[in-house]
Amino acid sequence: MGKVALVLVVVGALNWLLIGLFEWDLVTALLGGDSHRVSSWLSRIVYSLVGISGLYCIRYLFTDNAQVRA
């Protein structure tokens, strides 16, 4: 269950990265709706930082749970 939650967090963070860099929402594009968002520069910075954090967290998908807790 922890790995599934981590995958969802990473996917969400990567979507925010796409919004922050390109103002394009992947989830909305895949599931329907207007995939282009107009955002302020400050919100785009926050989206990008969350997305970069998600990229960092990908490494936890490939580590053993015992190593993460230590």
Per-residue pLDDT tens digits for 14-54? 999 998 899 888 888 888 877 777 778 898 888 899 999 99
Rounded distance, CA 16 to CA 41, Å?
A: 14
Query: Which residues, in sequence order, are CB contacts of 10 under 8 Å at separation 6+?
Result: 54, 55, 57, 58, 61
Would residue 70 count as lying in a domain?
no
Would residue 23 count as lying in a domain?
yes
Per the listing, tokens 């992947």 go with 26
Residue 67: what pLDDT?
59
CA-nearest of 19, 10, 12 to 54 is 10
Residue 14: what pLDDT?
92
Would residue 64 count as lying in a domain?
no
pLDDT band (50, 70, 90) for residue 60: confident
Query: Which residues, in sequence order, are CB contacts of 51 under 8 Å at separation 6+?
Result: 13, 14, 15, 16, 17, 18, 19, 20, 21
Q: Which domain holds residue 36?
A: 1-42
Instruction: Say how many domains are in the chain.
Output: 1
Residue 52: what pLDDT?
94
Q: Is the pLDDT of residue 70 over 60?
A: no
